[in-house]
Each structure stands twice: as structure tokens, then as C-alpha cells.
């Protein structure tokens, strides 16, 4: 009996801070944070000077169409779909 | 007294960050009693005198009379604010976040006043302005939350509209004071080496954050106009500390992004991305949240696995959509948009992502072109792709892409409309020969510009 009571209070205690802090967490979420230091050398930046300009950036993006391996599959699918249409005509 | 010796030390080495640390209204891990011991060192009656003698006793530092007076005023206001902070932290009856904000406004005003005139505080002390401004904003947000909480429990009959207008009242007031800090930096006429102009981007950043928070992004335009009008007198951007510039470029990028100016947005966000500190995970994630949709709109390319790998949240946000775009899966795309809608809208990226549907459609139609294979080669000429494709093949592809069942046919008019749209948007090159039910695509690897065919 006392056990279940305790468990209940524990659950309540655990729930409360969550409810209280939730809206604040959401707000903080979106905010650009202050940097711990004011300045840093380019070597510590995301893209260091060596790979500047566009060169170093290429691997970050990829083309938006499928590679040609998948083209085979699609070609088959397309032929089947066209047959269906012809069949129904 | 620790605070006074920290102050004298910061002054003797002319370190702005060290001085700003003295004015920070929180205790530190190394000195948890920092605020308490400062508050207890004096009382309201002897405060000014005590400050004068402890801050400037001895001959260790040389500070002009007018600067001394300014610091005494600033620390007197700080002492009162610290009193409110301590009361609040100790849940003293009657303590409130609003009172902390009111007291901190006085600190801000005393500091701003300290910079006035030619004998005012020197430019190296600018980090104090950033710190005081930052906490002004923090305390205002807390005060607004407290007012809102009070309103929701106590006065049940308030007009909803009035509550809405006033829900950011303190933060709006903070914005006006931070705006004075901004002007204080921008209008300084001192030679550039000792000018407050070095504080222009950091105070702008603080205002950007504040305007975003009170949903007045439009007000950022006034700041940008003021900065542009002075641009010939400002040092170039790369002369400023990277933290100032990365934050500034990030917000500039987001401002253009919200205006749907994706090319400009991308430029600023790319600068922010490249200069951002490698360990600033959260900030890098925020930059990419906007850079990825920009990149999709301007170049039709998608984030690589390598780019998303360190950011599981972004992976979750963009991966399903990217996969559907790549496969030309229109139904999957619509489902991914619907599934992510709440998150996309909250992050204000729904609009550009929606444009991804055109890219998915382009990829689907491109597959038709690839599947069409090559014409019979003539007299040893290199093989060329079949460029005359029946509209019915595109219709069939659309049935695949939309997972159409046998019963639901695809209307040929609709297919023609989609084709015309892609051609109009430059994603496809060619024309529709309606009378023959054919699409005639451009030759020489220009049918789907930028995709190699």
C-alpha cells in the first residue's frame, strides 16, 4: 500500500518539472546560441582556409536524381504500366 | 572584496571580457557566493561611498574622475539588481522576475549613460554592453512569462486581444533599450581604433534575436538600413571577431529566407556555415536547417549522408523527403510533407520544401527519358537519346509516381499541364506537340538541364 503511494508521488514529482520546463525548452530550441569564445582561428572553423571556396563543399551535396542502377527497375515498371493502359484500351 | 579586485584586475589589463564577467548577474561554479558576498558588503545608505572606496582605492589603476563616477553609478544599480536576483533565487516573499527586470533596466541605463560624452567609458569596455544587454533580454523574457502566468491564474476576464498585445511588453521595452545600445555603437565618431563601431554587429545580433522573439522580424530591416547607410565608415566584416559575424550572417540569411530570397539567403548562410566554430553543434544545426532548403531551391541538390550524419534531428527532418525526391515518388513526397508539417511550419521551412515536389516530378519524368533509350545510330554517329516521347509514357510514369490504382486513370490534360509547368520553370526543355500526342525534348544533353541528360 505504502509502496504504491510512494510510486505515485514519485511519478508526480517526475512529471511536474517536465511540465514546467517544457515550454521553455521549446523556446530555447530555436535560438542561435552565444559562442563560448569571441573569436577563433580559421583552422577551428567549419571549413578551414585550406579547402576554401567551392572545392571543399562538394561532398556535402548530392544530385537529386537516382543513380542509373535504379533506371533499369523503372524502365521495367514503366513498360508494365504502359501494357496495362494498352490492355484496357 | 572579490568583485572589486576582479574589477581592478580587468581594468589594469584593459580586458573587456574580464570586465563583462564582473558585471554578470550570476554566481560562478568557482565562486558560488559571488553575488551574496557582493550584496552583503554594503547597504543602501553607504553604497555609493563604499563603492567609491573599494573599486578605486589605492593607486593600482588610473581611472578618470568621470569614468569613476560612471562605474559607481553602474555598480550601485548592479548592487540593487543583485539584491533582487538573490531574493528571487531564495524565493523571498514578494520577489519577482519583473522586479529583477526593472532593476536591470537601471543597470543598462547607467551603463549607456557611462558612454556619453568625450570623457565616457572607453571602447574596450564594450563587452560589458553585450553582457548587460544579453541579460536585459533574458530578464525581460522571464518577466513576460511571469506576467503571463499571473494573468492566466488571477484575472480570468481579461480581453484576449489585450493579453496578446501585452504578452511581450517587457521584452519590447528591452528592445528599445538595446536599440539605444545599437545607436551608441553606430553613431560613435571616435577614430576607428577606439570606436564603439566595433560593437555594431554584436548589438545588432542581440536586437535580431529580440525582434525574432517578439515576432517583429520586419523591424530588422530598419537596423540593416541604418548599418548600410554607415557602411563606408565601418571596418570590413572580416575584421570583426568570428562570433559576431557568424551570428550576424545567420540572422541575415534567415531574414532573406523568410522573404523567399533564397539565393541571397544561401550566400549569408554559407558564410555563417563556413566560419562557424566546429564545436558549436547547435548553431551548425540551425544554420543547416535553413541552408538545406535554400540549396534545394537554388541548385536542386540534396544534403549528402556525410552532411547529415552528425545531426540526427536534421536526418530525421530531411531524409524521408530527400529519398522521395530522388526516386520521383510523388505520393511518398506528399506523405513526408504531411508527416513533417508541424515541424516544418514551426521552423518556417515548409514553403521552400514544398517546391521539392517539382524536383521529384522532374526526376520522375527524367526517368521516362532515360528509359526511352537511344535512337538507331546513323552512319557511325554517336548514339543519341530518343527525344520524341509519347505523352502517354509520361502519363504512365505519373501513375507509378502517384501509386495510381487501375481504376483511377491519369487525365492526359493534367499530364500536359504538369509537363508545361516543368518546361516553364526551366526544369525540362522541349515542347508538347499536342496534335501528335508527343513531347519533343531538347537534344544534346539539355532535355533536363543540370542533370547530365
Q: Is B432 helix (H, G, I), strand (E, B) or coil?
A: strand
User: CA-to-CA distance for B149 and B450, rounded, in angstroms?
Assistant: 55
Chain A residues lying within 8 Å of B134, measured CB to CB? 34
Q: What is the ipTM of this complex?
A: 0.84
Residue A25 pLDDT greater than 70, yes or no? no
User: CA-to-CA distance for B300 and B87, rounded, in angstroms?
Assistant: 56
How many CB atoms are closer than 10 A to CB B452?
10
Stretch (H or E) spanning B246: helix B242-258
User: CA-to-CA distance for B95 and B85, rounded, in angstroms?
Assistant: 8
**Minimum mean pLDDT among A1-5, A37-41, B41-45: which range?**
A1-5
| pLDDT, greater one: A50 or B305 | B305
Tell me whether B217 touches chain A (CB under 8 Å).
no
Per-residue confidence band for B445, with pLDDT thresholds at 50, 70 and 90: confident
Q: What is the mean pLDDT of residues B90-102?
A: 94
Chain B residues lying within 8 Å of A83, measured CB to CB? none
Per DSSP, which regions of A1-89 are E strands? 61-62
CA distance to partner chain A, nearest, from residue B124 (Å): 14
User: CA-to-CA distance for B74 and B109, rounded, in angstroms?
Assistant: 8
Chain B residues lying within 8 Å of A52, measured CB to CB? 274
A78, B397: Cβ pair inside 8 Å?
yes
- B329 CB contacts (<8 Å, ≥6 apart)? B323, B360, B364, B401
User: CA-to-CA distance for B424 and B402, rounded, in angstroms?
Assistant: 22
CA distance to partner chain B, nearest, from residue A4 (Å): 32
Choose among B193, B191, B205, B139: nearest CA to B170. B139
User: CA-to-CA distance for B250 and B270, rounded, in angstroms?
Assistant: 9
- B37 CB contacts (<8 Å, ≥6 apart)? B1, B2, B3
Q: What is the mean pLDDT of residues B217-225?
A: 95
pLDDT of residue B60: 64
Q: What is the mean pLDDT of residues B189-197?
A: 93
Chain B residues lying within 8 Å of A57, measured CB to CB? 270
Q: What is B185-224 written as a DSSP string?
A: HHT--S-GGG-GGGGHHHHHHHHHHHHHHTT-GGGHHHHH
CATH 1.10.287.70, applies to B367-441: no
CA distances, B60 to each of B5, B125, B335 (Å): 10, 18, 70
Stretch (H or E) spanning B434: none
CA distance to partner chain A, nearest, from residue B418 (Å): 18
Q: Is B44 helix (H, G, I), strand (E, B) or coil?
A: coil
pLDDT of residue A70: 72
Q: What is the mean pLDDT of residues B331-360?
A: 95
CA distance to partner chain B, nearest, from residue A13 (Å): 19
| pLDDT, greater one: B262 or B385 | B262
Angle, in degrees to the nearest 10, between helices B356-371 and B312-327: 40
Q: What is the mean pLDDT of residues B182-191?
A: 94
User: CA-to-CA distance for B312 and A68, rounded, in angstroms?
Assistant: 28
A81, B278: Cβ pair inside 8 Å?
no
Tell me whether B201 touches chain A (CB under 8 Å).
no
Q: What is the mean pLDDT of residues B432-438?
A: 94
B371, A31: Cβ pair inside 8 Å?
no
Long-range contacts of B1-6 (CB under 8 A, 24+ apart): B1/B37, B1/B38, B1/B41, B1/B54, B2/B31, B2/B34, B2/B37, B2/B38, B3/B34, B3/B37, B3/B38, B3/B41, B4/B54, B4/B55
pLDDT of residue A73: 84
Is residue B417 within 8 Å of residue B372, measured between CB atoms?
no
Q: What is the mean pLDDT of residues B122-134?
A: 97
- Beta strand B438-441 pairing with B388-390: antiparallel
Choose among B307, B289, B421: nearest CA to B355. B421
Residue B171 pLDDT greater than 50, yes or no? yes
pLDDT of residue A22: 33
How many contacts (CB atoms, under 8 Å) link A and B?
A: 132
- pTM here is 0.87
Of A35, A44, A60, the CB nearest to B306: A60
Tell me whether B152 touches chain A (CB under 8 Å).
no
pLDDT of residue B444: 84
- Beta strand B388-390 pairing with B302-303: unpaired
pLDDT of residue A82: 86
pLDDT of residue A15: 41
A61: left (phi over 0), alpha (psi -120 to 50) or beta: beta
Amino acid at each position: 500500500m505504502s509502496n504504491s503511494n510512494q510510486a505515485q508521488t514519485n511519478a508526480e514529482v517526475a512529471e511536474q518539472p517536465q511540465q514546467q520546463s517544457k515550454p521553455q525548452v521549446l523556446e530555447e530550441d530555436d535560438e542561435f546560441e552565444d559562442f563560448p569564445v569571441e573569436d577563433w582561428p580559421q583552422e577551428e572553423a567549419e571549413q578551414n582556409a585550406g579547402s576554401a571556396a567551392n572545392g571543399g563543399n562538394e561532398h556535402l551535396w548530392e544530385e537529386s536524381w537516382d543513380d542509373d542502377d535504379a533506371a533499369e527497375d523503372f524502365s521495367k515498371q514503366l513498360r508494365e504500366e504502359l501494357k496495362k493502359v494498352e490492355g484496357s484500351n | 572584496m572579490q568583485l572589486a579586485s576582479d574589477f581592478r584586475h580587468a581594468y589594469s589589463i584593459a580586458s573587456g571580457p574580464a570586465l563583462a564577467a564582473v558585471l554578470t548577474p550570476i554566481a560562478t561554479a568557482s565562486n558560488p557566493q559571488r553575488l551574496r558576498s557582493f550584496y552583503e558588503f554594503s547597504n543602501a545608505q553607504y553604497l555609493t561611498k563604499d563603492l567609491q572606496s573599494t573599486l578605486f582605492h589605492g593607486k593600482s589603476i588610473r581611472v578618470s574622475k568621470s569614468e569613476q563616477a560612471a562605474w559607481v553609478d553602474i555598480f550601485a544599480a548592479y548592487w540593487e539588481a543583485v539584491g533582487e536576483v538573490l531574493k528571487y533565487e531564495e524565493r523571498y516573499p514578494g520577489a519577482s522576475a519583473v522586479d529583477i527586470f526593472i532593476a536591470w533596466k537601471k543597470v543598462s541605463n547607467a551603463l549607456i549613460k557611462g558612454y556619453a560624452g568625450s570623457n565616457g567609458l572607453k571602447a574596450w569596455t564594450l563587452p560589458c554592453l553585450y553582457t548587460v544587454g544579453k541579460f536585459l533580454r533574458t530578464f525581460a523574457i522571464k518577466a513576460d512569462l511571469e506576467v503571463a502566468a499571473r494573468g492566466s491564474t488571477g484575472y480570468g476576464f481579461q480581453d484576449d486581444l489585450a493579453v496578446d498585445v501585452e504578452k511581450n511588453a517587457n521584452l519590447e521595452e528591452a528592445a528599445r533599450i538595446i536599440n539605444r545600445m545599437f545607436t551608441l555603437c553606430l553613431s560613435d565618431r571616435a577614430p576607428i581604433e577606439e570606436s564603439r563601431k566595433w560593437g555594431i554587429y554584436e548589438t545588432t545580433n542581440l536586437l535580431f534575436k529580440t525582434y525574432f522573439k517578439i515576432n517583429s522580424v520586419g523591424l530588422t530591416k530598419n537596423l540593416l538600413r541604418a548599418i548600410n547607410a554607415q557602411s563606408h565608415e565601418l571596418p570590413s566584416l572580416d575584421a570583426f571577431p568570428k562570433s559576431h559575424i557568424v551570428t550576424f550572417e545567420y540572422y541575415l540569411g534567415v531574414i532573406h529566407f523568410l522573404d523567399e530570397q533564397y539565393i541571397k539567403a544561401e550566400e549569408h548562410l554559407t558564410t555563417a556555415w563556413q566560419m562557424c566554430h566546429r564545436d558549436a553543434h547547435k548553431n551548425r544545426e540551425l544554420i543547416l536547417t535553413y541552408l538545406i532548403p535554400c540549396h534545394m531551391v537554388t541548385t536542386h541538390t540534396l544534403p549528402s549522408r556525410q552532411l547529415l550524419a552528425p545531426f540526427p534531428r536534421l536526418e530525421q527532418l530531411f531524409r524521408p523527403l530527400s529519398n522521395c525526391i530522388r526516386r520521383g515518388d510523388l505520393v511518398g513526397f506528399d506523405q513526408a510533407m504531411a508527416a513533417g508539417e508541424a515541424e516544418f511550419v514551426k521552423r518556417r521551412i515548409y514553403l521552400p520544401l514544398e517546391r521539392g515536389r517539382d524536383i521529384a516530378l522532374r526526376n520522375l519524368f527524367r526517368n521516362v527519358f532515360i528509359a526511352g533509350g537511344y535512337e538507331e545510330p546513323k552512319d557511325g554517329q554517336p548514339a543519341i537519346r530518343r527525344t520524341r516521347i509519347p505523352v502517354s509514357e509520361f502519363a504512365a510514369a505519373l501513375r507509378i509516381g502517384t501509386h495510381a490504382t487501375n481504376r483511377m486513370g491519369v487525365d492526359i490534360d493534367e499530364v500536359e499541364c504538369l509537363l508545361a509547368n516543368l518546361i516553364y520553370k526551366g526544369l525540362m526543355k522541349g515542347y508538347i506537340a499536342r496534335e501528335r500526342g508527343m513531347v519533343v525534348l531538347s537534344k544534346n544533353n539539355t532535355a533536363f538541364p543540370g542533370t547530365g541528360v
